[in-house]
Amino acid sequence: MTTTTPNAARTRLPRGIWVLGFVSMLMDISSEMIHALLPVYLVTVLGASTLTVGFIEGIAEATASITKIFSGALSDWLGRRKLLAALGYGLAALTKPLFPLAPSVGWLVAARFIDRVGKGIRGAPRDALIADISPAGLRGASFGLRQSLDTVGAFVGPLAAIGLMWWTADHFAAVFWVAVVPAFLSFGLIAFAVNEPEPDASRKPAKNPLNTAAMRQLGPVYWRVVAVGVVFTLARFSEAFLILRAQNIGLNAMWVPAVLVLMNITYALSAYPAGVLSDRINRTALLALGLVFLAGADLALALLPSLPGLALGVVLWGLHMGLTQGLLSALVADTAPSVLRGTAFGYFNLFTGLALLAASVIAGALWDAYGPVSTFLAGLGFALAALAGLLAVGNDLRTESKE
């Protein structure tokens, strides 16, 4: 594989990668200001159960994933990515005011659903656009940088939520209204500051990216990447359960968003270095290390019901995210033909999103029936199973880009 040093990667990464990273960062600031408080708001203000929280989170992410397959395929058919990505960011921005206006759980489900449709529309075309822009030898660094900047937003958002909850004396709706602003800034940035490269005239857009012939064209190694991603996701339920664990051990509502702050600082600091390193060594080894961190996080969250135990579990969870999420995207880009990249990211996100729905509903049901310890011990079991599966197919994933 191409050898890259961190400094070289930083100077050679195209401008568009940086801009797309800041687009993600601003939208994540908006989303995480809301999502850091939403589970507690649902349970303590609207009286929802933890099973309901798990169902809402799972349905939300599954909705985004199902939408991605169609938007990704459409971007391949059009041969263009930016229009659909901007449309998705715009829809997400327009739905943000629904959160402070929602009077019931049903309205919040609808708001979360529409918001995730926007995420689904933008996700696969944006990831395919990153793969189109980034040099093959810097693909891990490109996805790692976008993931790091995205995750900066994911801890700035909860920090802002903490400050605003203190300033407004726990006024949830006021915090939700402030979150509208960065969402619209994100849309403006992708609409006016991202330039899509001209399509290669020698590569004709896919005529029907969703037929069985196109699925076969993606190839067996790509489908093994999808299988690994699914098992990964079964081991990683929604971060909403980290927030609920914090509340369960007695953390004040104002400080609950600090859980996501700590996790996402760790995530942001590890994602870009992991991406750069994956351009130099075997990506599979880093993915395996990420699963080891996830297993450790589940163990700490299950057996250490204290603030230090919570902090340890959250840090390990963030390290797991940093070592896996950008690398899985890079593997999809490595193994998929360029004319089917949007479809490839769509299928990947569809199947992993359905797995997240299953994982989150299982986690919520276990929590309601047996308590939080059972939820995290089940996560530990899935993590160990995923690690065994990854090691079994590791050699097949040591692939060069098809560029």
pTM greater than the 0.75 cutoff: no
- What pLDDT is attached to residue 185? 94
Cα angle value 104/110/112 (rounded, 5°): 100
Asked, for residue 266, whether it belongs to a domain, the answer is: yes
Q: What is the pLDDT along the chain (403 residues), one digit of tens a residue?
A: 333 344 444 457 888 888 999 999 999 899 888 877 877 777 777 766 767 776 776 677 667 767 877 887 777 777 778 888 899 999 999 988 888 777 777 777 778 888 888 888 887 788 888 888 887 778 778 888 888 888 788 778 888 888 888 898 778 888 889 999 999 999 999 988 887 776 665 555 556 566 677 778 788 888 888 888 888 888 777 777 888 888 888 777 777 778 877 888 898 888 888 888 877 877 788 888 988 999 999 999 888 888 888 899 999 999 998 888 888 888 888 888 877 888 888 888 888 877 877 887 888 888 888 888 888 888 888 888 888 877 776 665 554 433 4
Nearest CA-CA partner of 108 in 55, 178, 29: 55
- How many angstroms separate the CA atoms of 238 and 182, rounded? 23
CA 94 to chain CA centroid, Å, is: 21
Asked, for residue 6, whether it belongs to a domain, the answer is: no
- What pLDDT is attached to residue 296? 92
- What pLDDT is attached to residue 312? 93
Per the structure, the count of domains in the chain is: 1
- How many angstroms separate the CA atoms of 225 and 347, rounded? 11
Asked, for residue 403, whether it belongs to a domain, the answer is: no
Q: What separation in angstroms does the CA of 176 have from each of 45, 91, 123, 183, 277?
A: 14, 17, 23, 11, 38
- What pLDDT is attached to residue 204? 58
Asked, for residue 199, whether it belongs to a domain, the answer is: no
Please return the burial class of 128, using the count of CB atoms within 10 Å of its CB with bins 0-12, 13-18 and 19+: buried
- How many angstroms separate the CA atoms of 263 and 155, rounded? 8
Task: Retrieve residue 385's tokens.
Answer: 């199973």
Task: Retrieve residue 24's tokens.
Answer: 């993600």
- How many angstroms separate the CA atoms of 274 and 289, rounded? 11
CB 20 within 8 A of CB 28: no
Asked, for residue 200, whether it belongs to a domain, the answer is: no
- How many angstroms separate the CA atoms of 45 and 351, rounded? 33
- What pLDDT is attached to residue 4? 39
Nearest CA-CA partner of 363 in 350, 382, 390: 382
Nearest CA-CA partner of 330 in 318, 316, 344, 315: 344
Asked, for residue 168, whether it belongs to a domain, the answer is: yes
The owner of tokens 């960065």 is 182
Q: What separation in angstroms does the CA of 355 have from each of 53, 193, 232, 350?
A: 16, 35, 9, 9
Range of the domain at 53: 13-193+209-397
CATH of the domain at 34: 1.20.1250.20
Asked, for residue 49, whether it belongs to a domain, the answer is: yes
What crossing angle do the helices spanning 105-133 and 341-370 adopt, rounded to 10°?
Answer: 140
Asked, for residue 5, whether it belongs to a domain, the answer is: no
- What pLDDT is attached to residue 393? 65
